[in-house]
Structure 1
Amino acid sequence: MSEAPRVEIFTRVGCHLCEDALAIVRDVCAELGERYAETDIDADPELADRFTDLVPVTFVDGTQHDYWRVDPARLRAALGP
């Protein structure tokens, strides 16, 4: 069984902030050897209701980490030892 991703990012199609945040998440996770998962909130009505104005939203180890923008240094620190 594979280990669950430590980072989850909630996005929506056509969101330029989501594209920017996803690129940062992808780069930082690759650099640190961590996995991430992306979820389109519009595919789940409950997520769409909860996060509609906050996307992108990132979670690290199940705890909300950021919304709207992802700071690479802050993400690295959250994933560090």
Structure 2
Amino acid sequence: MATPTIELLTKPGCHLCEAARQTTGEVAARFGLSFTETNIENDPQLFERHQNEIPVLLIDGEVKDFWQVNARRLTKLLEKKLAA
């Protein structure tokens, strides 16, 4: 069982990012996992690609949610990843 990599793409001043950060942290903690947060303003390619979708949730490098992180959906995604 490989540990999934959870990353949240954010930018400063983003009100949706705060909620996404909290939801991602709470769900990840239930599985004993953590997540990384990346400020897209520090990466021109990420900024160009995601500037209108922030926040963006990636699991193992794949976009799984944007604008709002759904706790139920994230739980199901992590359950599936951890069962594989």
TM-score, normalising length: structure 2: 0.87
* Runs of 4+ deviating beyond 3 Å: none
Q: Once the two structures are aligned, what percentage of the paired residues are identical?
A: 38
TM-score, normalising length: structure 1: 0.90
Listed one character per residue, the Cα deviations across residues 24-58 of structure 1 (whole Å, up to 9, x for unaligned) are: 00111111111211000001111111100000000
1:35 aligns with 2:62: no
* Cα deviation, residue 5, structure 1: 5.8
Aligned residues: 79
**SS of the counterpart of 2:53?**
coil
Does the 8 A contact of 1:4 with 1:35 survive in 2? Answer: no
Does the 8 A contact of 2:4 with 2:78 survive in 1? Answer: no
List aligned pairs for 1:36-51, cutoff 5 A.
Answer: 36-51=35-50
Partner AA of 1:49 in structure 2: E
Tell me the equivalent position of 1:12. Answer: 11
**Unmatched runs of 5 consecutive residues or more in structure 2:** none
Does the 8 A contact of 1:5 with 1:36 survive in 2? Answer: no
- CA-based RMSD: 1.5
1:60 aligns with 2:59: yes
